[in-house]
Copies of this chain bind each other. A is one copy, B any other.
Amino acid sequence: MFDIRPVGYVIGLLVAALGATMLLPLGVDLIAGNGEWIVFLQSGIVTVLGGSLIALACSNGVGEGLSIRQTFLLTTIVWLILPVFGALPLILGASGMTFTDAFFEAMSGLTTTGSTVMTGIGDLPDGLKLWRGVLQWLGGVGIIVVAMVFLPELRVGGMQIFRTESFDTMGKILPRAGEIASRISVIYLGLTAACAACYGLSGMGWLDAVTHAMTTVATGGFANYDTSFSGFSAGAEYVAAVFMILAALPFVRYVQLLAGTAQPMWRDRQIRGFFLTAFILVTVVSLWLVTRSENSFEYAFRKSLFNVVSILTGTGYASDDYMRWGAFPVVLFFFIGLIGGCAGSTACSIKIFRYQLLFASIKTQIERIHSPSGIFTPRYDGRTVSDDVLNSVMSFFFFFTVTLGVVAVALGMTGLDFITSVSGAATALGNIGPGLGSEIGPAGNFADLGATAKWILAITMLIGRLEVMAVFTILTVQFWRD
């Protein structure tokens, strides 16, 4: 077996860093005069100590870098360990959750899924509300770095197509990850601050503004209220829509924009595809809502814009119970969730570029009919797409679908009905948040599911967040063979 100490070392450091971020809710509760701050102190100490111990225990094995297999392991294990520590404040604090519920919630946070098992969130102490936001916010920036550095290197799900373009510094994985993380963090922080300010202007209190800014920019979807976004003003809905869209664009384009080159952003096929998709879907649903009842056009447009963008970007806020919009939107929203945003953002699910690549490949195959012996290669963004990329994308699509099926069947085995099982599997695998049906739909909650179903969903969130193949790869015999 290969040396797992370098992996443990990095994980330990990240766990300790997670513990440090507990100072934020600690401070908020302290200032607000909530006794709850002690919970974050306890959790923080345990987490920082735990992380440091892990790092220390592994520090003698830290070499000059990570192999591909170590990188695979790191990527997966991080997202399995951090929720354990992230769950501590939820177990110890006012919410007093079981480990299963707390792990589900923390995993849902760190994977930016946003499905919740908590009710009465509005009455929780400020610190806990903020902590849910922090979990998603950290998960969001984490996944951007993973998507820009790790997954392309691991050739997972066709992400290798973004290998050369992300940054020119092709150094070792960890230094590069650090550099990218710091560059991205500026943009990420800026977007969050801008979003929070706009939310404040739209009428939200400061805590709601900050927490929702965090979960918006992370396309996470945790809200401070059981009714999600439906209690906020029309202005807040528009603000959310704009920032959900911004958060679903490839962050490398913002880096380039800051460096003064806007052209790559306008030319990006992912971005164009994303806007076209959003435009068509919002228009269709708006028209549906207008014709269906006596909604004003503004109302229909706003509800359509907010909820379509929320599901398309995988954020998962709901500003209305779209289970009541009739049969068509329900079916449509299921499939919108399987589209997803752009790669290299916080958005999740199958993602626009994979559809574009798959359609390009099919176009090539049809061209072969005219001249069967001719060589045609699919092109994407002006470059030819290698068979390696295409195979990865297709394997991703296949595995995503098969996993969705297996998870849905497993959920059905726990007693959930068809719409809950199938939409639950999709929402967890696509890191979207709400499912469909009366139980886990936009007006529902995951609280009443059985423990088995919750564990299945939590693991599915992890699988989905790491683009499916990363998790399955480390589960194979081949991976561990020397």
Contacts and interface: CB of A to CB of B under 8 A. Distances in A.
A413 B291 CA distance: 13
This chain: copies in complex: 2
Contact of A365 (B358, B392, B418, B419): B392
B331 A369 contact: no
What band does the interface of chain A fall in when counting residues whose beta carbon is under 8 Å from B?
Answer: 35 or more
Interface string A401-422: 1000100110111011111011
A366 to B, nearest CB: 5
B412 A68 contact: no
A399 B397 CA distance: 11
A398 B399 contact: no
Interface in A414-451: 415-419, 421-423, 436-437
Interface in A42-70: 68-69
B327 A473 contact: no
A473 B362 CA distance: 10
A330 to B, nearest CB: 5
A361 interface: yes
A395 B331 contact: no
Interface stretch (A136-144, A240-248, A332-340): A332-340
A89 B423 CA distance: 43
A401 B399 contact: no
Dominant secondary structure of chain A at its interface with chain B: helix
Contacts of A409: 328, 331-332, 335
Given A395-B365, A418-B327, A419-B418, A335 B405 contact: yes
B395 A362 contact: yes
Of A395, A398, A476, the most chain B CB neighbours within 10 A belong to A398
Contacts of A437: 418
Contact of A418 (B330, B369, B481): B330
Contacts of A334: 408, 418, 422
A154 B72 CA distance: 40
A395 B479 contact: no
Contacts of A415: 326-328
Nearest to A69: B369
A117 to B, nearest CB: 20
A390 interface: yes
A478 interface: yes
A372 interface: yes
Contact of A399 (B362, B370, B390, B419): B362
A381 interface: no
Contact of A72 (B369, B421, B479): B369
A327 B417 contact: yes
B369 A413 contact: no
Interface in A354-375: 358, 361-363, 365-370, 372
A394 interface: yes
B369 A412 contact: no
Contact of A391 (B361, B405, B423, B436): B361
A298 interface: no
Given A366-B479, A412-B331, A397 B401 contact: yes
Contacts of A330: 412, 417-418
A478 B415 CA distance: 48
15 contacts: A155-B368, A327-B421, A331-B408, A334-B408, A334-B422, A335-B409, A362-B399, A365-B395, A366-B479, A369-B473, A369-B479, A370-B478, A387-B387, A418-B423, A419-B419
Interchain residue pairs A-B with the least CB separation, the first 10: A331-B412, A394-B394, A328-B412, A335-B405, A328-B413, A331-B421, A358-B398, A362-B395, A418-B419, A327-B412
